[in-house]
Amino acid sequence: MSQKLMIVMGGLSPDEQSRVREAAAGWDVRFGKVKELDSQLFREAEVVVGWSPAIETDGLLPDSKLRWVQAWSAGVDKLPLAKLEAKGVMLTDASGVHPPQVSETALAMMLGFTRHIHTAVRNQEKRLWNPKGNFGEIHHKTIGIIGAGEIGSELARLARAFGMKTLGVRRSGRPADGFDHMYSMSGLHDVLAASDFVVNILPLTAETTGLFNASAFAQMKPSAFFVNIGRGPSVVTDDLVQALRDGVIAGAGLDVTEPEPLPENHPLWEMDNVILTPHTAGQTDRYSERVTALFLRNLAAYIQDGRPDKNLVDYRANY
């Protein structure tokens, strides 16, 4: 009987590759970058780590052998979910590898605004020494975390270290560690109104697309800051720009935008009350290490039971 084929993308280190080979004893394991791999390999692969267009063109053919895809990212909204489901392919995401770096990005933006670090950096480029400003603190302020999953829980834990009051919103409304109060989506209005910082970490679904619009920003305090480390399309960008211009909210920290990347002439680039990062909140020098550990756990379950046991995507919910 021929060996089962596994394709692993993502630039694993030699040590990480060795660990995968050891865990997949008896398998034909192929490592490589997307452009290095023959697309026809995806017709024979049973397991794929990462994503390549060849998964859709070759891996989902009627006679292909694909059974499981381990995504390299937490967000899977841009993948052909309906086609994967129709083929009966199990999809697992990389949820759980992002809490440290993404929560640190949100915290950095919050601190940047209150301590005017963004203003100081702009003044540094102009060689301008200007100590003026309305400096604040995040200590004892209220943070509203919209999307209280693993990243949200880590951010809540860090916020508590600053003495912040932590409010959370999640679909179930169930309590979670690190939060003083938890709400279901029906309580979003109350959280927006009470928070000094609103941090969006929601996945992109039909329910969350355009959730942060003119009405939502109008519910926030004029002194509040909006931070988006979730998904760009969850925000109506024109409404956000208008809210920033009119002083409806004090500022916005954006790691994701809609569209992405922003056009060169987009007004967000030049707004003094905006901090932009180019969708890098999830990046870290430990990313490959964490995804490999997650995959190895899932691989052990898959080999034993024919099914990964962590982060299996619910195609009905799109995450």
Query: What tens-digit pLDDT sequence spans the chain (319 residues)?
Result: 479 999 999 889 999 999 999 999 999 999 999 999 999 999 999 999 999 999 999 999 999 999 999 999 988 988 999 999 999 999 999 999 999 999 999 999 999 999 999 999 999 999 999 999 899 999 999 999 999 999 999 999 999 999 999 999 999 999 999 999 999 999 999 999 999 999 999 999 999 999 999 999 999 999 999 999 999 999 999 999 999 999 999 999 999 999 999 999 999 999 999 999 999 999 999 999 999 999 999 999 999 999 999 999 999 888 8
Copy the structure tokens of residue 235: 């925000």
Catalytic annotation on 260?
A: yes
The topology (CATH level 3) of 99-276 is: Rossmann fold (3.40.50)
Crossing angle of the two packed helices 99-114 and 117-125, in degrees rounded to 10: 70
72's CB contacts (< 8 A; 6+ apart) are 9, 10, 49, 50, 51, 94, 291
Copy the structure tokens of residue 185: 């989506």
Catalytic annotation on 231?
A: yes
Task: Kindly name the residue from 160, 279, 290, 297 that is annotated as catalytic.
Answer: 279
Portions of the chain given CATH number 3.40.50.720 = 5-96+285-305, 99-276
**Which 3 state secondary structure label does DSSP give 4?**
coil
**Which 3 state secondary structure label does DSSP give 225?**
strand
Task: Kindly name the residue from 43, 116, 231, 258 that is annotated as catalytic.
Answer: 231
Question: For 5-96+285-305, which CATH class?
Answer: alpha beta
Judged on CB neighbours under 10 Å (0-12, 13-18, 19+), 173 is middle
